[in-house]
Chains A and B, each alone.
Chain A
Amino acid sequence: MTGRPDLDGPTRPQESLRRELFAIGFVYAMSAMLTLLVGWLSMA
């Protein structure tokens, strides 16, 4: 125990790195698709 709230204790069940990374990947994909749409509409 270090006495610091940001380091103490195990990872909480609601803290899933995998889920966060998946969410970020999803955002990247969505923003890429949106950008393609914006680009295509502007060029058309």
Chain B
Amino acid sequence: MNAVRSLVGAWLVLDFFGESRRSRSPGSTLTTTIFTQSFLALVLAALLFPETPPTAFAAAALCFSTLLDSVAGLGETATTARARADAVLLHTSPVAAWQRVAARCLHGSFRLVLCTVGMALPPGILLAMLTGDAWAVARHLVAACACSALAGAAFTVVVQVAARLRGPDAAALLSGTLRALALGVGLMAFALGIRHLDEGIGAMPFPAWVVENLPMLWAARAVVAPAANLDAVVLLAATGMALLLLLRLVGDAESARGRRRSSKGLADRLEALLAADPVTRGLANFTGVMLWRNPGFRSRALPLFGVPAAMVLLGLRGATDAERELFLAVALQFPAVYLPFLVALLPRGEQPEAAWVFAQGPDTTLARVRQAAHIALCVRVLLPLHTLALAAMLVGGVDPWFALPLSLTSLGTAAVLARFQARALQHVPFTQPTEGAAPTEMGSLLLGALVLLGFACAWVLALPPAVRWIFALQLPATAVLQLRARA
């Protein structure tokens, strides 16, 4: 029993203090999170009380706690590192298999209960007041823990399947993406739905079958009237069992450890095709892979593209066709406008020690580094962005004979400009320490942005369709020739 207790204690210490150890800040991040979540749940419950009907009130509170728990669970960036550290700890200590399982169960459930109870207590108490049944508090607490556990298990199954198929790095990327989606889509759906809580399921701005099939709604019915809704309890239990079975099938993090697929993707092949020599190819591949794998770069670069994405979406709802076309043309120039920012972010990385790899190569010249960065930016940033924007335009009902040349021209402009922007690079990307970074020179940025936006306006307003196609074919061709040139 001592072994189980020690393991649970060690894991809890990491839960509470792991983050602050890494960032070298005092105090515990988990405690702060629990404080904040508990306070948010109290505010939400107080806002909904007492006008909302009990089932809708319980369902809203359960959705809120489940959403926040899932977001917190998905956001653990150090999961792979932690799993490896755990493997060292478990395989070197005299612990029996049953003790390991018991410790995992105890730790998981203790952590879940700790995080969820804070969010479930205020709505539970208000629900008891609403229904006049004191046992509703206990039922709401149990339901909140069950819903969070179900959501956590469902997300774990998805992430584990990704880990099985594509390796732990792809799983970490998927987990981060799911987190962003859960946060964005979940909070938006919550904000939209909360206004129609007292009008019934039919008034919700979502399809009725989605709302009817939410486990949180089943749980809410069981909390308010347990005797009349035994089928909901059975349904929840069955879902839990099915998820457990699936988890058993896909295995745990330890068994997927260290599995990394090196299958070549489309981007790898394109980079290999464009790079003129093996050194440039290697550098381009390193830069390209690190672009989205580097958390610092990702966190700074991704928000930059939120504005043009929002502009494209807004542009699709524009009033007249002419306004819409102008708006889209301007929005599509934004990736080119942002290029200097991206190039300025490139040199710094979390592992500056990587520099020694390139220091060993006698052929790593600055010209090749710049050429490689140019290739990586075109293949991994500009091409996917413009492909996505083109798809969004076509789905949004924009005339393909306008969207296609516009997309090709914008991609070509950005790709040609990227060559000049990459000349600002002085080091191999991601090999300089993040501290003490030189301030970015942004003087010419505004001028460049104005020229690009002026070009976009002229393209839409002044050019006949035939001339547009000349630009649409000429600019990408120039870019490809530049990319293929020997550095």
Contact = CB atoms under 8 A, between A and B. Distances in A.
B188 interface: no
Contact of A31 (B21, B38, B81, B129): B38
Contact of B22 (A2, A5, A20, A27): A5
Contact of B13 (A2, A17, A24, A32): A17
A6 B114 contact: no
Interface in A1-44: 2, 4-7, 11-12, 14-15, 17, 20, 23-24, 27-28, 31-32, 34-36, 38-39, 42-43
Given A5-B22, A17-B12, A24-B114, A39 B34 contact: no
Nearest to A40: B129
Nearest to A7: B85
A17 B16 contact: yes
Contacts of B13: 11, 15, 17
A32 B125 contact: yes
B14 interface: yes
B125 A36 contact: yes
Given A6-B81, A35-B122, A38-B46, 20 more contacts: A5-B21, A6-B21, A7-B14, A7-B85, A11-B13, A14-B26, A17-B13, A20-B16, A24-B34, A27-B35, A28-B117, A31-B38, A31-B39, A32-B121, A35-B45, A35-B46, A35-B125, A38-B126, A39-B125, A43-B129
A11 B6 CA distance: 12
Contacts of A34: 42, 122
Contacts of A2: 85, 88-89
Q: Which of A5, A6, A11, A12 has the most chain B CB atoms inside 10 A of its CB? A: A6
A20 to B, nearest CB: 5
Contacts, number: 82
B117 A4 contact: no
A17 B111 CA distance: 13
Contacts of B88: 2, 7
Shortest 3 CB-CB distances between A and B: which pairs?
A35-B122, A7-B85, A35-B125
A38 B42 CA distance: 9
B430 interface: no
B49 A39 contact: yes
Interface string B97-135: 000000000000000001001100110011001000000
30 contacts: A4-B84, A4-B85, A6-B78, A6-B82, A7-B88, A12-B17, A15-B17, A15-B28, A17-B13, A20-B28, A20-B30, A20-B31, A23-B31, A24-B34, A24-B114, A28-B117, A28-B118, A31-B39, A31-B122, A32-B121, A32-B122, A34-B122, A36-B125, A38-B45, A38-B46, A38-B49, A38-B126, A39-B125, A39-B126, A43-B129
A44 to B, nearest CB: 11
Nearest to B45: A35
Contacts of B118: 24, 27-28, 31
Given A24-B31, A31-B38, A6 B14 contact: yes
A34 B46 CA distance: 10
A39 B206 CA distance: 30
A7 B50 CA distance: 47
Contacts of A42: 46, 49-50
Nearest to B12: A17
Contacts of B31: 20, 23-24
Contacts of B22: 5-6
Contacts of A7: 14, 85, 88-89
Contacts of A39: 49-50, 125-126, 129
A27 B78 contact: no
B9 interface: yes
Nearest to A15: B17
Interface in B6-28: 9, 12-14, 16-18, 21-22, 26, 28
Contacts of B49: 38-39, 42
A27 B129 CA distance: 21
B204 to A, nearest CB: 25
Given A6-B14, A38-B49, A17 B122 contact: no
